[in-house]
């Protein structure tokens, strides 16, 4: 005898209710419970600029992909951010879902987040994009380039882009880094690191330098003579740090301001 039943959530243990009137499956008998639809195992993940990662994290990624696959029809799923750093010092998991239809799928985000917390007890930040938006972001946004310079994905993705400098967009991004100058004493180490990384990424983009986590952190060490962990642990000499930070910030800001003025003049000519 076979009965199809749904798993219900219980306070201490999940449970399956079956009809009292039935043939076979008597109380006290042992039975096998298996999914009605067999899940296809994830055989392979694709790594970009990641040499090694903890086995537990790989299992978490596979579980996340299964959850998203059940809830959104997608072309690819990309895991990025601090979750991929060595160790378990992260707040949540950054996820990019590439799908053909964006509007309808965004309604599912909260449901997916709840299922991820329910299954693996970790929060997530989910960004839903289509290929066009993704390629547009990679062509003009240094933060997109940084985000996807190091990631793990469900499917292999290769992109070719033509760089376009949008100075007004860069100006908005740089404004996020200005907060460090005025609020140094109120920011924690991680917040200072992200403001600094953001500014260096913009500088690299303007200088046509390769943008990735390693190249940016190498530049931070060179300029500030500081280990990245010391910055994240908030072990910084304020006076020396702010002096150098302001110098770089003002230099990047002048380049952006000059670019905005040139763009405005060009539009007036045209």
Residues 6+ positions from 244 with CB-CB distance below 8 Å: 223, 224
Q: What are the pLDDT digits (tens) for 101-126?
A: 766 556 678 889 999 999 899 999 99
Does the structure show a pLDDT above 90 at 263? Answer: no
CATH architecture of 46-153: 2-Layer Sandwich (3.30)
- From CA 169, how far away is CA 84, in angstroms rounded? 27
Quickly count: other Cβ atoms within 10 Å of residue 211's Cβ: 21
pLDDT at 154 over 70: yes
pLDDT digits (tens, 9 = 90+) for 165-223: 999 999 999 999 999 999 999 999 999 999 999 999 999 999 999 999 999 999 999 99
Calculate mean pLDDT across residues 91-106.
Answer: 81
Please give the helix or strand (H or E) that residue 97 lies within, else none: strand 93-98
Per-residue model confidence as pLDDT tens digits over 40-59:
666 689 999 998 899 999 99
* Mean pLDDT within 233-241: 93
Which is more confidently placed, 38 or 93? Answer: 93
pTM value? 0.79
Give me the residue spans of the domains in the chain. Answer: 46-153, 167-259
pLDDT at 98: 92
DSSP 3-state of 88: coil
């Amino acid at each position: 005898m076979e009965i199809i039943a749904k798993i219900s959530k219980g306070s201490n243990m999940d449970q399956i209710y079956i009809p009292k009137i039935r043939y076979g499956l008597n109380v006290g008998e042992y039975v096998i419970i298996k999914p009605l639809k067999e899940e296809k195992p994830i055989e392979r993940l694709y790594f970009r600029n990641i040499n090694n990662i903890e086995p537990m994290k790989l299992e978490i990624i596979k579980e996340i992909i299964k959850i998203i696959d059940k809830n959104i029809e997608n072309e690819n799923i990309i895991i990025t951010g601090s979750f991929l750093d060595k160790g378990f010092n992260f707040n949540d998991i950054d996820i990019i879902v590439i799908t053909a239809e964006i509007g309808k799928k965004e309604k599912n985000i909260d449901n997916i987040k709840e299922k991820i917390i329910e299954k693996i007890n970790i929060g997530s930040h989910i960004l839903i994009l289509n290929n066009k938006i993704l390629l547009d972001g990679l062509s003009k946004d240094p933060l997109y380039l940084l985000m996807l310079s190091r990631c793990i994905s469900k499917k292999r993705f290769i992109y070719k882009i033509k760089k376009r400098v949008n100075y007004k967009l860069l100006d908005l991004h740089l404004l996020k880094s200005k907060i460090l100058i005025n609020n140094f004493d109120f920011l924690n180490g991680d917040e200072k690191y992200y403001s600094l990384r953001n500014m260096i990424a913009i500088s690299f983009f303007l200088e046509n330098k390769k943008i990735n986590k390693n190249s940016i952190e190498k530049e931070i060490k060179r300029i500030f003579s500081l280990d990245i962990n010391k910055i994240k642990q908030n072990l910084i000499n304020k006076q020396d740090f702010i002096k150098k930070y302001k110098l770089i910030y003002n230099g990047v800001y002048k380049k952006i301001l000059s670019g905005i003025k040139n763009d405005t003049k060009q539009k007036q000519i045209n």
